[in-house]
């Protein structure tokens, strides 16, 4: 019996030894390989993001340092401008350059006002050069620029020199005449003292082409003069001349008479027929004081400010990272809405030299 038990025990198939089974290919190996790449790209992406953050902070820090190096302006609105050295000299004395370039409108008037405040409050600024290259613009903006520039002399006791480049006509001259001394390049065009008003008449387009007949309800006869949906009558022209053109023209004459002490009001009115003048004609008619290039304007400004070795700096707008990141642009796509139509049809009263007239 014992033998049978032994036989039965021996006859049972032997259990395989796990240690003797050859290793099979592990199905998880490709997963480990992919996990390794994930770790690699994770580290790489993290380092890339970190390096970009460090680079951005470095750029911002460099901007702050450069602002300080170039006489970085103080807090508030003044931070929108910084100083760029145009002509080297003593860093304890400065001649500041304010630019009026292009069509004069509200935004430019605001920028000039901020720069005037910066130059006026800076004790190192001994004189200011106003660089003008403009055919003019709106009446109100030109008048505000003239008002702000006169503050440099009247409130801050700083002499000013207007330097006229290629064009300083109409509102450009209106602005420049606020300065103590006017210098024009030999090829500059100036003058065009006068006012122009523009409006549009859409009657033919709306009624004849589109079949649209506007309906205007008003409280008085003159409420809609000039009406962009009807032709301008002789009576309306005379009304606009008396109410808009003549007052703006008389103010232009008054500003020039006050700014150009060598000219009487009668002489100014003789010159103020809308004519343009080259630099030599302007000089002979006492509309300017000298003819020359920027170096001459600098020489005069240094003499007026009693700062012969002063460095010359120009105010320029600081790059706005926030505006750039937000995608803001000065170029706006046109849109046809009520506001646009109203602005388009509203008469424009301008101190502007129009070469297409």
Residue 161 to residue 119: CA distance in whole angstroms: 14
Element (H, E) at 270: helix 265-271
Q: Which residues of 320-357 are buried (b: 16+ CB within 10 A; e: fewer)?
A: eeeeeeeeeeeeeeeeeeeeeeeeeeeeebbbbbeeee
Exactly one of 218, 223, 243, 317 is catalytic; name it.
223
131 carries an active-site annotation:
no
* CA 113 vs CA 56, 75, 146, 160: distances in Å: 32, 16, 10, 15
285 phi-psi bin (left φ>0, alpha ψ -120 to 50, beta other):
alpha
Is the peptide bond preceding residue 226 cis, with omega within 30 degrees of 0?
Answer: yes
Render 18-42 in DSSP notation, one character per residue.
GGGSPPPPPTTHHHHHHHHHHHHHH
Q: Distance between the two ends of the chain, CA-based, in angstroms?
A: 135
Q: Cα separation of 116 and 311, whole Å?
A: 18
What's the CA gap between 185 and 164, in Å, rounded? 6
**Locus of tokens 């079949």:** 211
Catalytic member of 134, 142, 170, 192: 170
Where helices occur in 21-105 by DSSP H, the ranges are 29-69
Q: Give yes or no: 170 in active site.
A: yes
Q: Coil, strand or helix: which one is 166? A: strand
Alpha-carbon distance of 294 to 273, in angstroms, equals: 29
154 vs 259: CA distance, rounded Å: 13
Residues labelled as active-site residues:
170, 223
């Amino acid at each position: 019996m014992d033998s049978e038990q032994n036989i039965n025990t021996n006859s049972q198939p032997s259990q395989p030894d796990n240690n003797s089974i050859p290793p099979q290919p592990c199905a998880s190996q490709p997963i480990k390989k992919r996990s390794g790449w994930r770790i690699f790209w994770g580290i790489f992406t993290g380092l890339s993001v970190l390096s970009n953050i460090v680079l951005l902070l470095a750029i911002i820090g460099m901007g702050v340092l450069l602002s300080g190096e170039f006489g970085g302006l103080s807090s508030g609105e003044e931070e929108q401008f910084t100083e760029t050295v145009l002509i080297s000299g003593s860093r304890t004395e400065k001649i500041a350059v304010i630019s009026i370039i292009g069509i004069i409108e509200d935004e430019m008037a605001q920028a000039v006002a901020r720069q005037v405040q910066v130059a006026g409050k800076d004790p190192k600024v001994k004189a200011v050069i106003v660089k003008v290259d403009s055919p003019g613009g709106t009446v109100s903006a030109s008048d505000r620029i003239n008002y702000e520039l006169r503050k440099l002399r009247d409130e801050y006791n700083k002499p000013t020199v207007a330097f006229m480049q290629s064009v300083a006509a109409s509102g450009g001259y209106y602005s420049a005449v606020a300065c103590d001394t006017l210098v024009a390049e030999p090829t500059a065009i100036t003058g065009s003292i006068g006012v122009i008003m523009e409006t549009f008449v859409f009657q033919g387009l709306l009624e004849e082409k589109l079949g649209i007949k506007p309906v205007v309800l008003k409280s008085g006869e003159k409420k809609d003069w000039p009406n962009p949906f009807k032709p301008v009558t002789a009576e309306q022209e005379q009304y606009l001349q008396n109410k808009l053109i003549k007052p703006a023209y008389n103010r232009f004459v008054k500003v020039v008479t006050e700014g150009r002490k060598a000219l009487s009001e009668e002489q100014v009115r003789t010159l103020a027929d809308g004519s343009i003048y080259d630099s030599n004609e302007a000089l002979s008619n006492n509309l300017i004081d000298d003819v020359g290039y920027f170096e001459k304007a600098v020489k005069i400004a240094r003499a007026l400010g009693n700062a012969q070795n002063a460095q010359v700096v120009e105010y320029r707008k600081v790059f706005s990272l926030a505006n750039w990141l937000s995608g803001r642009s000065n170029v706006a796509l046109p849109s046809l809405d009520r506001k646009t139509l109203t602005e388009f049809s509203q008469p424009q009263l301008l101190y502007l030299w129009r070469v297409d007239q």
